[in-house]
């Protein structure tokens, strides 16, 4: 249990790992939007090329990506089938209540490719960015929201502390379970309901100790002069490097490409 890694971060030294996390988050949002703005095969091709490039550049084993795709495979199949059979226009094939049209085929392809791209883009982000970097980048990106009285620093602090304490609490759960088992608790057999009930003697002490931990942590933070986000500086300064500008340029080119294809080439539907 001590080796739990949060999220799906895959430590490895690649260009994508070293990119500024803020840039990665913004690019992810841009690419997701872009994926749904593809109206013909040329623009879809550009997005696919970007996904493939990102997956290859991340140097994360392809197996990992397949694993994250496996989760959504059913959704992909069902939505593709629905689109396939409910297209408008001249049927090219008909059987019982099913009729397949060219529009249906196009729709199915687009939906399928879009969802796969969406998942792959997000996986690239979570595989190449550690949770700590992610929270850090989110805090910096959301900083402008402070004018709407959103407590950005406090939210980021909570995320940081939550990330820090997940392994600690998992370890504690292990210990409590062992302690309850030593006292004769039966957690592995019986019906689902009785097994859930058996978790109560684990969760109650875990809750109590979490509150104690929270109190002690608050004392420790106060001892270290913590006064909220005001007047606080950060050790790590994020600075855009050459590689960040290059990746930004490539992304902008891709966006421009998709927009141009949409304007000058015929839309499929």
Partner 1 sequence: MHMEFIKIENLFFRYGEEDEKPNTNENYVLEDLSLSIEKGDFVAIVGHNGSGKSTVAKHLNAMLIPSMGKVYIDGMDTADEALSYEIRRKVGLVLQNPDNQLVAGIVEEDVAFGPENLGIPPKEIRERVDEALKAVDMYEYRLKAPHKLSGGQKQRVAIAGIIAMKPDCIVLDEPTAMLDPKGRQEVLDTVHKLNRENGITVVMITHYMEEAVTADKVFVVDSGRLLTSGTPQEVFSQVELLKRHRLDVPQATELCHKLRACGVEIDRLPLFEDECCALLKEVLA
- Phi and psi based region of residue 164 (left: phi greater than 0; alpha: psi -120 to 50; beta: remaining): alpha
Handedness of CA 239, 242, 243, 249 (dihedral sign): positive
Stretch of 98-106, 117-125, 146-154, 220-228 lying at the interface with partner 1 (CB under 8 A):
220-228
**According to CB under 8 A, which one of 235, 242, 264, 266 is a site residue for partner 1?**
235
3-class DSSP state of 98: strand
| 222 near partner 1, judged by CB under 8 A | yes
Return the range that interacts with partner 1 (CB under 8 A); candidates 87-95, 104-112, 158-166, 244-252: 158-166
Does residue 234 touch partner 1 according to CB under 8 A? yes
Whether 48 contacts 113, CB under 8 Å: yes
Nearer to partner 1, 79 or 132 (CB): 132
Shorter beta-carbon distance to partner 1: residue 79 or 209 = 209
Contact flags string 185-214 toward partner 1, x per CB under 8 A? ---------------------------xx-
- C-alpha 227/C-alpha 73 separation (Å) is 47
Task: Tell me the number of residues near partner 1 by CB under 8 A.
Answer: 30
Judged by DSSP in three states, 265 sits in coil
Judged by beta carbon, residue 91 or residue 228, the one nearer partner 1 is 228
Query: Which residue in 55, 43, 56 sits closest to 114, CA to CA?
Result: 43
151 part of the interface to partner 1, by CB under 8 A:
no
C-alpha atoms less than 13 angstroms from C-alpha of 163 in its C-beta half-sphere: 17
- Whether the CB-CB separation of 238 and 22 falls below 8 Å is answered with yes
Examine residue 239 and tell whether it contacts partner 1 (CB under 8 A): no
Contact residues for partner 1 (CB under 8 A)? 2, 131-132, 160-161, 163-164, 167-168, 171, 212-213, 216-217, 219-227, 231-237
């Amino acid at each position: 249990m001590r080796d739990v890694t949060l999220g799906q971060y895959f430590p490895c030294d690649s260009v994508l790992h070293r990119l500024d996390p803020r840039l990665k988050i913004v690019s992810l949002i841009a690419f997701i939007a872009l994926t749904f703005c593809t109206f013909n095969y040329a623009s879809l091709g550009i997005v696919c090329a970007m996904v493939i490039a990102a997956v290859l550049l991340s140097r994360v084993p392809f197996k990992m990506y397949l694993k994250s795709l496996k989760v959504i495979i059913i959704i992909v199949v069902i939505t593709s089938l629905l689109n396939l059979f409910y297209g408008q226009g001249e049927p090219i094939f008909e059987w019982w209540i099913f009729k397949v049209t060219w529009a249906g085929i196009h729709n199915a392809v687009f939906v399928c490719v879009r969802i796969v791209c969406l998942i792959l883009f997000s996986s690239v982000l979570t595989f190449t960015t550690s949770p700590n970097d992610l929270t850090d980048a989110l805090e910096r990106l959301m900083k402008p929201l402070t004018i709407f009285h959103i407590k950005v620093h406090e939210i980021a602090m909570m995320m940081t502390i939550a990330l820090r304490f997940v392994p600690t609490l998992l370890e504690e759960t292990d210990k409590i379970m062992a302690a309850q088992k030593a006292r004769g608790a039966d957690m592995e057999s019986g019906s689902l309901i009785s097994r859930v009930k058996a978790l109560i003697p684990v969760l109650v002490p875990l809750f109590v100790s979490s509150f104690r931990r929270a109190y002690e942590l608050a004392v420790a933070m106060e001892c270290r002069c913590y006064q909220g986000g005001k007047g606080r500086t950060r050790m790590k300064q994020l600075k855009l490097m050459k590689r960040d500008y290059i990746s930004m340029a490539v992304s902008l080119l891709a966006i421009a490409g998709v927009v141009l294809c949409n304007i000058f080439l015929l839309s499929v539907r």
